[in-house]
């Protein structure tokens, strides 16, 4: 891997906050910052961030690191990293860098070298996201109307009618008093029932309109724009 590719891979690891694994394979933190040699433009130190020491970084030399599919691997053991000096500045002064170089045994600090964290402006890919909301609107109308219809009806009713008949009872007894034979007439009234139709309004039923809610799935289609970032040779 060339020096340029090595630097690009480290920058990608910092953006993704990849884990850092010690020589034994144990995770010791994540890539939190890169300290560049400002003259050469190459990464000199890797700043390892950890939840146990927020605000401070453990620096390890960038030389000798390798890259796995999910982590950055350093050639130092877990105990070595745990005892390494920590810094909380984004720029290394001469005594600090000489102390780090002596601790990791990577030789003395080059004369007149400035080392600091660089934060270049990085493109931030963006993409459109779908947010589906619902708006209530009128989908139809229902009207209930009352009208009068005439329906024929037949009702069976039982009627009474008086009839007359002559009833004769033999007596065979003398008639008292002066009774003369002659014509006589007796008249009685006969009655009959006739149907009388009366109409009145009665409540036949109660009618109302109720609304039910039916749920159905709907598909919404559109096109989204997405930024794609890719490495290109300089």
Q: Flag the least confident range among 135-144, 168-177, 196-205.
A: 168-177
Indicate the pairing of strand 27-37 with strand 86-87.
Answer: unpaired
Domain boundaries, the chain: 3-117
The pLDDT tens digits of the residues spanning 108-159 come to 555 556 666 655 555 566 777 878 888 888 888 888 888 888 989 898 999 9
CA distance linking residue 31 with residue 107, whole number of Å: 23
What's the pTM?
A: 0.49
Q: How far apart are CA 226 and CA 90, in angstroms?
A: 34
Is residue 234's pLDDT more than 60?
Answer: no
Dist CA 42 CA 31 (whole Å): 16
How confident is the model over 80-102, as a mean pLDDT?
A: 87
Query: In angstroms, rounded to a whole number, what is the distance separating the alpha carbons of residues 106 and 91?
Result: 19
- Average pLDDT rounded to a whole number, residues 199-205: 88
36 and 43 in contact (C-beta within 8 Å)?
yes
d(C-alpha 52, C-alpha 41), whole Å? 31
What whole-number distance in Å separates Cα of residue 163 and Cα of residue 188? 11
Burial 43-81 (b: 16+ CB within 10 A, else e): bbbbbbbbeeeeebbbbbbbeebebeeebbbbebeeebb
Q: What is the CATH number of domain 3-117?
A: 3.90.50.10
Higher per-residue pLDDT: 113 or 205 = 205
pLDDT value at residue 194: 92
pLDDT digits (tens, 9 = 90+) for 209-233: 888 888 888 888 888 787 766 555 5
Helix (H) or strand (E) holding 96: helix 94-104
- pLDDT given at position 162: 92
pLDDT higher than threshold 80 for residue 207: yes
Q: Using one digit for the tens of pLDDT, what is the confidence trace for 59-84?
A: 999 888 999 878 999 999 999 998 89
Please indicate whether residue 170 or residue 120 has the higher confidence score (pLDDT).
Answer: 170
Distance separating alpha carbons of residues 230 and 193, to the nearest angstrom: 108
Q: Convert the pLDDT of each residue in 5-64 to its tens digit.
A: 888 888 888 888 899 999 998 999 999 989 988 877 788 899 998 877 777 889 999 888
DSSP 174: P
pLDDT of residue 95: 87
């Amino acid at each position: 891997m060339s020096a340029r590719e090595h630097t690009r891979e480290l920058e990608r690891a910092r953006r993704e906050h990849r884990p850092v694994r010690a020589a034994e394979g144990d995770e010791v933190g994540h890539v939190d910052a890169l300290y560049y040699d400002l003259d050469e433009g190459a990464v000199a130190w890797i700043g390892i961030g950890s939840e146990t020491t927020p605000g401070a970084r453990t620096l390890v030399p960038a030389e000798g690191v390798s890259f796995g599919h999910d982590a950055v691997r350093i050639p130092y053991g877990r105990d070595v990293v745990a005892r390494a000096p920590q810094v909380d500045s984004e720029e290394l002064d001469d005594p600090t860098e000489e102390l780090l170089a002596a601790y990791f045994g990577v030789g003395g600090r080059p004369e007149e070298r400035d080392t600091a964290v660089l934060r270049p402006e990085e493109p931030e890919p963006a993409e459109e996201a779908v947010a589906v909301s619902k708006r209530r609107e009128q989908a139809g109308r229902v009207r209930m109307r009352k009208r009068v219809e005439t329906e024929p009806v037949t009702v069976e009713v039982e009627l009474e009618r008086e009839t007359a008949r002559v009833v004769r009872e033999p007596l065979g007894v003398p008639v008292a008093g002066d009774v003369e034979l002659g014509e006589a007439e007796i008249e009685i009234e006969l009655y009959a029932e006739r149907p009388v139709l009366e109409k009145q309004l009665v409540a036949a039923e109660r009618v109302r309109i109720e609304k039910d809610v039916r749920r159905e799935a709907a598909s919404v289609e559109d096109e989204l724009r997405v930024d794609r970032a890719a490495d290109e040779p300089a």
